[in-house]
Every structure is written in C-alpha cells, then in structure tokens.
C-alpha cells in the first residue's frame, strides 16, 4: 500500500499549529509538529505573510499529499471570524499554490474520530493523539501547545477517514 | 519628488479587484486595473490560491511601493465575515511575502476622500475615480466592474492621504 503523508493545520493569527503524519502499513506515525508564531508586535499583513511562508516551508520540507483543516461554524463574533478567516486564507493559499487541496473537518467529528465521543475535552484529544502516533509522539507530546495537538488531531482524523473509506470500498467489492 | 506607485485591492472569494495607480508630479494616473476571478466551480482553497497568485503577479509586474485595502467592520453574518477574511488573508499574505505593508481604509473615509461625502453611492465613486485618473482611465472605465472601481478608489484615497500628510508636514515646517 502506498505511503501517504498528511498535513494537519490549526490556523490562528497569533499561533498556527501544524502537524505532519505519515501512514505506514496502516499505522499513523508522527513526522513533525510545530507552531508558527509571528512576532507579537507584527502588523496583520506581516503575520499573514509569516503564516504563508511557514506553511509553504513545511510543505516543501515534508511533501504532504493531503491537507486537513478544521471547519469552524460558530464564532464569538464577526471580528474573531474575520481574523480567523484571514489566518485560514493565508494557510489555504500556501497549500493551493503548492497544488494541495484542503479537506475540512467538523471539530465534533475530529473528537469522535480520535476519542470516540464528540464531547471529548482538549486533554483527552491530546492524550489520544500522542498514544496513536508512536514513540516519538509520546516523547514529544509534553511540549505541544493546544494548537499543535489540534493540528495533529486533524491529520489523524483525516487518516482515519481515509482508512474507513478504503474498508467500505473493500467490503463493497467482496459482496 | 520621487514617483510613488500604489496598489489598491478589493478582495472577495468570487472576484478580487485590483488597481495600480502612479503619482507623477502630484497627479494620480492609472497604470493598470483588473479583476481576479477564480473558476466558478473551484474549491475554496483553489480560489484562495488564485487570489494569492494573481496579486503576486500584479506586484511583480508593476512594482507598487504601497498597498491600500478596505477595512470592513460590519458584515451581514459570521459566514460572510469568514469568507471575506479568507480572501483578505490570501491577498495580504501575497503583499507581505513581497515585503509590502497593507494600509487599511474605512469605506466612509474612502468615499469622503474621493467624492467629498461619506454617503456617496457606488456610481458617484466610479465617476470620480475615472475623472481623477486621466485619459486612459476615462477611456477604460466603462468596462470596470464595481470591484475594480473600489480597488482604484482605495489607491486614490491612499494617494490623497499621503499628499495631505506631506502638506501638513510642510506647513508645520514653515511655522
């Protein structure tokens, strides 16, 4: 089975988390994880430029085949929706310019896919992500902020969803 | 006086208008104007990639020194704020990656700067923009959609604001 590399992104104007996950023989393994943090006093344009360049660098370095990002439907207010939209726009543009499509996942679906319930809290998601992604992940997970865990959760959810699609297809073929 | 080239942008996921304006001896002149229209059936990521690439191309072709973009504070709803935010994010990232800062203008201030009143309608703004920008603009303005006119209005407003700042500075120096 061909190896697949997935990039998960959790965009934000102050901190954009990313996680790169590789599937080897049906097992998800951590490749890299980190966060893009533009300088605190940077203008909005500079922040968005940093997000674009940061994601572009991750893509060039790890060569992901697919990208997963959270779909958000509820916001505190329109100002936060606009800000988040701008961060998403910079990150998605970097993916598209590198020929990558971005698959969106509902936050509840991500939690359900990883912890088994859509009502899991951040700690439960973080714990399961570290357990699932192998030894390196369990060693590094202490240093991950929530944005990194969320980005990795997205990547793992995307791999789960691909696996399920393959199984469903295989079951259809055996009938 | 050094020549200055300003890029005005009116971002949108369906149509992103842009206008390049040059100031020669205190007179604003049209350099180029157009719109980036991603294919109607393109995914959001593809659209944002097209906006990024389109703005990057305009910057590389015309070498603007400064960028002006509308600051929007009111939205129909959070969904439209998120979409507009994404388009803005892609366009602003393209500017920042090319080393350009983005100056935001309030829509009312733009209208006031161009027509003399913050309550001017789209047609009045379009008419004045074409009058102000010289012969080429008056010949081409019939083919401009509202997004292009708005982008040019932003560039003209930015030049007016620079001119005013220079005059204020000069007056201060003479005291």
Strand partners, A22: A5, A29
Tokens at A158, concatenated:
């995307």
| Distances in whole angstroms, Cα of residue B52 to Cα of each of B66, B92, B159 | 17, 8, 24
Verify whether the Cβ–Cβ distance B85 to A90 is below 8 Å: no
CB atoms within 10 A of CB B131: 12
pLDDT digits (tens, 9 = 90+) for A107-156: 899 999 999 998 999 899 999 999 999 888 888 988 999 999 999 999 99
pLDDT digits (tens, 9 = 90+) for B45-82: 999 999 999 999 999 999 999 999 998 777 778 888 89
For residue B82, give the nearest of A43, A81, A94 by CB distance: A81
Q: Is A147 annotated as a binding residue?
A: yes
CB atoms within 10 A of CB A111: 21
3-class DSSP state of A120:
coil
Domain ranges of chain B: 4-174
Q: Which residues of B touch A72 (CB under 8 A)?
A: 82
Angle at B118 between CA B113 and CA B119, to 5 degrees: 140
The architecture (CATH level 2) of A4-174 comes to 2-Layer Sandwich (3.30)
Q: Which residues of A touch B86 (CB under 8 A)?
A: 85-86, 88-89, 92
**Could you tell me if B88 and B29 are in contact, meaning their C-beta atoms sit under 8 angstroms apart?**
no
Averaged pLDDT score across all residues of chain B: 92
pLDDT digits (tens, 9 = 90+) for B113-159: 999 998 999 899 999 999 999 888 888 988 999 999 999 999 999 99
Burial degree of A102 (CB within 10 A; 0-12, 13-18, 19+): buried
Candidates A44, A32, A55; CA nearest to B45 is A55
Q: Is A150 annotated as a binding residue?
A: no
Residues 24-53 of B with CB under 8 A from A: 43-46, 48-53
């Amino acid at each position: 089975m061909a190896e697949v590399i997935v990039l998960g992104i959790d965009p934000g104007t102050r901190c954009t988390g990313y996680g790169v996950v590789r599937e080897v023989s049906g097992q998800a393994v951590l490749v890299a994880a980190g966060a893009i943090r533009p300088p605190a006093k940077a203008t909005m344009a500079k922040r968005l430029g940093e997000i674009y360049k940061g994601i572009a660098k991750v893509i060039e370095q790890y060569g992901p085949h697919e990208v997963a990002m959270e779909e958000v439907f509820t916001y505190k207010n329109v100002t936060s929706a606009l800000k988040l939209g701008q961060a998403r726009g910079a990150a998605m543009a970097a993916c598209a310019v590198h020929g990558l499509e971005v698959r969106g996942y509902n936050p509840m679906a991500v939690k359900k896919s990883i912890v088994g319930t859509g009502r899991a809290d951040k700690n439960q998601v973080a714990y399961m992500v570290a357990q699932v992604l192998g030894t390196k992940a369990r060693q590094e997970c202490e240093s991950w902020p929530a944005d990194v865990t969320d980005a990795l959760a997205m990547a793992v959810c995307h791999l789960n969803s691909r696996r399920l699609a393959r199984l469903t297809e295989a079951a259809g073929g055996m009938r």
